[in-house]
């Protein structure tokens, strides 16, 4: 059912998840859907950045949190494998907690200036400590398309990526878990 490179966007109900969506929302933008992004690196294998980048079976990922799975339809099997291989290259790396602070710093600056600001995140582009959106925005860079999600992969957040895929005719939602989170 799921293919390598399919992206999972979650919509958690907890305080941290709501805080992430608040920080991701750009001035004038409607409420954000996604507070986390993970992806498939195999038919039943999900890779994501939690306290470290890890891979686990989809059944362990699916804990009842609302989520959507999106697929880039034009990708070939070889391209899907290239994206998955790049994501898997991050497995075992520690989570980039300071990058969350950088995203929050840019969110505060954006609200003060009334426009999207990408300043603090430029300083936190250390590849050794990825966050969830970093893993997958950089994985898609393996296709040779710069700024695959419409912006520098170092600046991407789950909301930016979700906005991009949900507005693109090249992407299709292939699954959605709805209900009370």
- Walk me through the domains of the chain, giving residue ranges and CATH numbers: 7-177 (3.90.1720.10)
Looking at every residue in the chain, the average pLDDT score rounds to 84
Would you state the pLDDT for residue 23?
Answer: 75
Q: Is the pLDDT of residue 124 over 70?
A: no
Give 29-72 as a DSSP string: PPPP--SEEEEEEETTEEEEESSBEEEEEHHHH-SS-EEEEEEE
Q: Which residue has the higher pLDDT, 66 or 15?
A: 66
Q: What does the pLDDT average to over 55-82?
A: 94
Higher pLDDT, residue 166 or 130: 166
* pLDDT higher than 70, residue 103: no
Number of residues in the chain = 181
pLDDT tens digits, one per residue of 5-21: 999 999 988 888 887 78
Of 160 and 84, the one with more pLDDT = 84
Asked whether the predicted pLDDT for residue 181 surpasses 50, the reply is no
On the question of pLDDT at 46 being above 60, the answer is yes
Residue-wise pLDDT for 167-177, tens only, equals 999 999 999 99
Paired with 87 in beta bridges are none
Rank 64-68, 126-130, 156-160, 169-173 by mean pLDDT and report only the highest. 169-173
């Amino acid at each position: 059912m799921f293919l390598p490179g399919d992206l999972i966007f979650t919509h958690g109900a907890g305080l941290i998840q709501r805080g992430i969506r608040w920080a991701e929302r750009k001035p004038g933008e409607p409420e954000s859907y996604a507070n986390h992004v993970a992806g498939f690196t195999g038919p039943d294998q999900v890779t994501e950045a939690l306290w470290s980048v890890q891979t686990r079976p989809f059944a362990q990922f699916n804990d009842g949190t609302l989520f959507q799975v999106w697929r880039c339809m034009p990708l070939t099997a070889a391209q899907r494998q290239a994206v998955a291989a790049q994501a898997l290259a991050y497995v075992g790396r520690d989570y980039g907690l300071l990058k969350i602070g950088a995203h929050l710093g840019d969110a505060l600056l954006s609200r003060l200036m009334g426009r999207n600001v990408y300043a603090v995140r430029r300083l936190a582009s250390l590849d050794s400590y990825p966050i969830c959106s970093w893993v997958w925005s950089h994985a898609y860079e393996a296709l040779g398309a710069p700024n695959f999600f419409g912006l520098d992969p170092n600046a991407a957040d789950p909301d930016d990526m979700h906005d991009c895929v949900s507005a693109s005719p090249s992407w299709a939602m292939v699954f959605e878990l709805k209900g009370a989170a």
